[in-house]
Each structure stands twice: as C-alpha cells, then as structure tokens.
Amino acid sequence: MRYLLGLLSILLIFLPSATFSQGSYYFTLVEGKKSLAKGDFVRAEEFLTKSLAEFKEIGDYILLWRAYAYNNLQKYEEALRDIEELKKNYPRSTVIKEGRKLELEIAKTLKLNSLGSIYDSFVSDYPEEVAIKFEYATYLKEKRELEKAKRLFKEIFLTPSSFADKAEEELSANDISADDLLKKGRILNNAYLFKKAERYLREALQRIKGSQNTEFLSALGYCLFMQKKYVESAEIFKRSRDFYWRARSLLRAKDFETFERELPEYLKSSDIRMADVFINYANIKRRAGLNDEGIRILKMVVSKYPEAKEEAMWNMAWNYYTSGQYEEGRRILQELYDSYGKPKYFYWLDRINEKKGVVPTKKYTFQFRQGDVYSYLLYMKGKTNLVPETSKIRENITLNRRLEILIKAGFREEALREIKTILKDNRDMENIPIYSRLLYELGDYPTSVRLISKFPNRFSYQELLYPRVYEDSVLKASKRFNLDAYLIFAIMREESRFDRLAQSPAGALGLMQLMPDTARREGSRIGVYFRKDSEIFEQEKNILVGSAYLKNLIEEFGNIVFAIAAYNAGEKAVSSWLKNYSYKEIDEFMEDIPFAETRNYVQKVLSSYFEYLRGNRNLTAEHISEIIKIRGGKL
C-alpha cells in the first residue's frame, strides 16, 4: 500500500478541492473488483452494479469488470449488453479493446453467426493483435474462405511475432515472393533477430539469382554486419557498391590493406556518413602510432565535410594532446571552446595548462552544465562551482475525475493506463513533474525517469531524475560486497532505467542487464543459482549478482572507471585497451575508449553517480573526487 499512501498524500497537498467523502461507495467499488479477482462472481456482480451509478466517470471499467463476472456466470446476454454499452457510451475508452476481446470469446462460446464479422471488425481495428488475427485466419480456412485466410497468414508471416512461423506453415513457396522475403528480412533486422533475418534474405537472393538488386544485398550486408560477420558483410557491400558500409565492414574486419587500396574510391563519395568512417580510420592510425597520417586524414575531413568539422577538429586536438604536441592541441581546443563553449573543450585546455605549468593570461567564465561529465570533473578539480538549483514549478494541476477515482480506489494498473493515455494525448510540458511523481508512486519507475528527463527544469526534481528504488535490495548488496549503494543505483539507472523486466537486443536481462552466462558464472561464485533465464529478472537476485560482478571488476582493475567500462564492454576488451594503448591518467582512458557505446556509457554512469552522491550526501568536491578517484588518477 506504500504507493497508495504516497499518492493520497500528493492528492491532499496539491488537490485541496478534491472531495473524498464517498467512503462507503469506494468500499463497494473496491469489493466488487476484489471479488472478481477472487472468483466470487456473484458478489462481484452485486457490488459492481451498485458502483456503476455512483462512478459513471469510470463506468467503462465497471462495465468491463461486470461483463467478466457475467461471462463467468454464463450470463452471456448480460455480458454482451455491458460490452455494447461500453462501446456506445465510452468510445474513447482505453479498455474497449479488452471488451471486444471478451465479446469475441463469448461469440466463440455461443458459436454466433456474427462471429466472422466480429473477427473481421476486430482485426481491422487492431491489426497489431497477431494472436487474434491468426485465430481469424484459421477460422476462415475452416470456412473454406481460402484467399482471405491466405492474405491474413501472409500478413502474420511478415511480423517478428511468435505466430509468424505457424503462419508460414500455412503458405506455399509460391505464396511468398522474393519481395516478401526481403520485407521479412528487414522486419527481423529491425527486431534485432539478425540470424533469422539472414536465412530469409539469403533465400530471397537465391530467388533473384543473377540479379544485382542492391536492396536485397544491402539488407543482407547489414544483417551480417550486426552479427559481427565483417568479412562476409564487406563482400556483400562490395557487390551492392555501398561504400559507407563496405568501408565500415573493412575497418571492423581490420582489413586495412583493402581499405587503403579502395580509399581513392571512397574519397569520391559525397555521403556525409563517410566523414565518420574517415574519423574512425584517423583514430586507428593514431592508436597505431601514425599520428601524422591521422592528422592528414582529419584535415581532409574538415575541408571536405563542413558538417563534420567540429568532430574532426576535436579528434585532431585529441591526436595532438595524446602525442604530446600540446601547443597544437591548445590552439584547436581554444578555437573549439570559443566556437561551441562545451565543457569538454574547456577541461582539456585546462589539462594542457596543468601539464605545461601554464597560468592562462585570459580568464574564461565556465558555464557549469548538469549532466555533463566534464562539468563534474572540473568541479572536482575546484575549477568551477555547482550551479544553484532552479526552483521547482508548483505541482498544482487538477487531476481528472477518472484518475482521481482510480488512485483512491487503489487500482494501480488502471491508474497507470490513464496517466499514459493522458500523456499520449497531452504534450503540456508544465505538467510533467506531477505525472512523473504519480508514475513513481505507482511503481512505474522507467516511465517516471524517462518522463522527467524530458523536462527542461529536470535537475530540480532530483528524487525523480535519480531515484533510490529497490533500495532494500541495493542496501543489502552494498553491505554484503562493501560497495557504494549510489554506484549500484547509477549502474541500474543507465542500464535499465529501473525496468525490472528490461531485455536488451543482445540478450542482457533485468535491472542490471546481466547476460545469462555472466549471471550464472557470477551467481555460482556467491551462492546464487539460476535454473532458468527467467529467474535473472528477479529483483533481488539480479541486483545481488550484478553488484557482485561490479565489485569483482573493481577489484580486478583497481578503479571504478575501468570497472564501469568492463561492465559494458567486457573484461577482455578493457584489459586489451590498457595493455595496448599508452594511457597515462584515468581521464585520458575515459575519453579514449575505442568503443563509442562504452565511452558514452562510462560518462553517463559517472554523471549519474556524481548526482547520486551530490543529492544524497553533504559532500565537498574533494570528498566526491576521492570517492570516484578520477582526478589526477595515475595508471
């Protein structure tokens, strides 16, 4: 009941005009819903009928619940009557789909003559309901309406759903064209089902043997690239003459000889995406110790691709910095900071001054940016003060009566449904904080965090932007492994936004996004076992094993920055970077992580960790710096 008490306190504070004098009516409403859940359908019908007159604002919910009760009592006519009333009187209700699903179930039970038209209408209005569409197709097949059934089976086949394979069994090879296979492959690519997509795309190419259709080749090349089959994808993109993806594949495959040979062809391309390829290649040259070649490539990017000028100039400055050519680096960084004002450029200008022992003659005013890792690093070095928090907007919106009733009655799922409908239909930014708070109190932490993150004044709502959810489990793990709870919160926030059922395209699961193999390995080390993958979603196990893994990485690498990088990219990758590249200090490693995804991840986690520390402890910059151990940290 924690969420209900929290919500009621919000309502009483911000909605003084709300009246809650109808206690007996609420009792009747709540008992009707409880009886339905318990299977006491006679009692449910009685209480819901009494509630209907008093709570017309949520009459659609009550009609649906009573229809369920009638259905279970085999009072089918009464159930259908309630569904009709729901459709007629609440045409924009969020529960009409559920009512129409129940209508279908009753029509099937009674074998109504109208079943076909009910199916047809439902599938037309809700094409995303693949399971019911498959039912309808099967029904049509039994009725010998084969062409219509076949059309529906093909529609289902062209989805990434679990019914697609069943639908394919209902179709012959002649029913599926090469274009259908291409479309299927693209749909599976978009669903991150690359291995399955490859099968359909290769079959499509077999169908058009001898043709050089670039659409088919590009889809297959992308599919192979995303499976890290870079040599194969490079050959496919060569056939499709897609220079951008061909070049990317060659670099990923480390086939630099072929890349160099084809470079003149790439330089003819006006595709702006090629700028990223050339910047990447320049960094490969730099890491190989060929700094001058890297600089030459970056200068070419600056002159050829004006849209990529800033990124190319930054990489040029970084090349000069890492090779000890500080004056050249200073010149470019100064130009970048004067033009764009980003904290990153100010930070590395300051680092050059530190290395050279120079006190700048020109005093710059640095603008602190919350959420930017370099602003925090400068704060920890005493180079800037924290900006004062801006005042909160008064949270005094009037909730609509529907939502008010659902909250007071304690109907969590229904209240969440209403809030999300309101947010979908209403783009009013001013009301974001109260809805984010309501979502938080209802336990929908992922939506709450994502919503408040869109708010311009978001850092004034620290408890929503950086919440301490699942705190009991986090504190238990923190104590067991001697690990800062705020670091665990920061990892969870960036990994899953506190979505307990989060699942990544790569297969990572749960709050701390554990790969199944990692979960089993680290779990067995601390006595936590998973009999099946679904157990990895369990809140306490996930946090405990994720924390154990993080602690293990900190002990292995001796620093949380390296550990955070390894949590994302793996121990082998980080060990390789530390071995092969001459990082002198931790901040240099953080900026030079070869994987862009991991580099961004590390910076986001550090920013979140800083905000947790700042918001929940009365710490000075020196204390925070000591905890994070990044300022001046030697390798």
Residues with a known catalytic role: 495
The string of DSSP letters for 270-285 reads --TTHHHHHHHHHHHH
Q: Which helix (H) or strand (E) holds 537?
A: none
Q: What is the DSSP letter of 414?
A: H
Residue 66 and residue 57 in contact, taking contact as beta carbons nearer than 8 Å? no
Task: Read off the tokens for 29.
Answer: 């409403």
Residue 590 and residue 599 in contact, taking contact as beta carbons nearer than 8 Å? yes
Please classify residue 70 by burial: count the beta carbons closer than 10 Å to its beta carbon, then call 0-12 exposed, 13-18 middle and 19+ buried: buried
SS3 for 347-364 is HHHHHHHHHHCCCCCCCC
Nearest to 362 by CA among 339, 382, 334, 342: 334
Task: Read off the tokens for 527.
Answer: 């006595």
In the beta sheet, which residues pair with residue 503? 509
> What percent of the chain is helix, strand and coil (3-state, nearest 5)?
70, 0, 30
**Cα gap 404→578, rounded to integer Å:** 56
Q: CA 349: distance to chain centroid? A: 34
Calculate helix-pair angle for 115-125, 96-110, nearest 10 degrees: 160
**Cα gap 31→49, rounded to integer Å:** 12
**Cα gap 52→35, rounded to integer Å:** 15
The terminus-to-terminus CA distance of the chain in angstroms comes to 50
Virtual torsion, Cα 562, 565, 571, 575, nearest 10 deg: -50
Q: What is the DSSP letter of 509?
A: B
- Which runs of consecutive H residues, i.e. helices, occur in 73-177? 76-89, 96-110, 115-125, 130-142, 146-157, 164-169
In the beta sheet, which residues pair with residue 634? 585
Q: CA 422: distance to chain centroid? A: 22
For tokens 């504190």, the residue is 475
**Cα gap 131→545, rounded to integer Å:** 36
- Which runs of consecutive H residues, i.e. helices, occur in 163-290? 164-169, 178-190, 194-207, 214-226, 230-240, 243-252, 256-267, 274-287
Residue 450 and residue 500 in contact, taking contact as beta carbons nearer than 8 Å? no
Query: Assign residue 595 a region: left if phi > 0, alpha if psi is -120 to 50, beta otherwise?
Result: beta
**Cα gap 316→324, rounded to integer Å:** 12
